Copies of this chain bind each other. A is one copy, B any other.
């Protein structure tokens, strides 16, 4: 095994077949959700990332800073615990926790079921925090208006190219924990190149949910998108 590294693609046609029918069913339900959101003029954002990249902190900032101007609802997905929902509770927004058990993503049906707990006509923005996973949520549309992938400087530079489907399907990339970039030995130049390669159509915001640096630009963009959507 000298020279080039042998690479074996794992062929699993049977699994892919099963997966396909699940995805088709999900796409139908996602289209229903999308129609429902449009009818009620709700802008839905699907936050995805690996574990611990900072989705909850980012959403907490958003509730704190936009919660007076926008009517926001939050759905949080996790395998277990309502830790994230607890972290987000006590602000103005209603928070609903979905526990998925062993399932690695939310799907459109779960979101639909959760919507019964909200009065959509009273919301401008529905935030959906997906399960912490850079793989499974990629194929499962929820009917969202915007898909936001969060990656942290502490995860290294190469996540966009190692999890290409997730980044390719994202509308926005939030590069979080910029305050830790230097101590983590993070190569920002390389990371930008890989984000642009994997997600050429996505907007990128470099920020720290903890310090608040760079957050204003992201919030301005989101508010503009929400207003355009309502006006459109």
Contact = CB atoms under 8 A, between A and B. Distances in A.
Interface in A1-28: 1, 5-10, 12, 15-16, 18-19, 22
Interface string A201-224: 000000000100000000000000
Contacts of A94: 1
Contacts of A143: none
Contacts of A138: 102
Number of copies of this chain in the oligomer? 2
A94 B134 CA distance: 28
A147 interface: no
A51 B134 contact: yes
Given A1-B117, A5-B96, A104 B80 contact: no
27 contacts: A1-B117, A5-B82, A5-B85, A5-B86, A5-B95, A7-B85, A7-B99, A8-B117, A10-B98, A10-B101, A10-B107, A12-B109, A16-B102, A19-B102, A51-B134, A51-B162, A52-B155, A52-B159, A79-B165, A80-B164, A84-B162, A104-B133, A132-B163, A133-B134, A136-B136, A152-B154, A180-B183
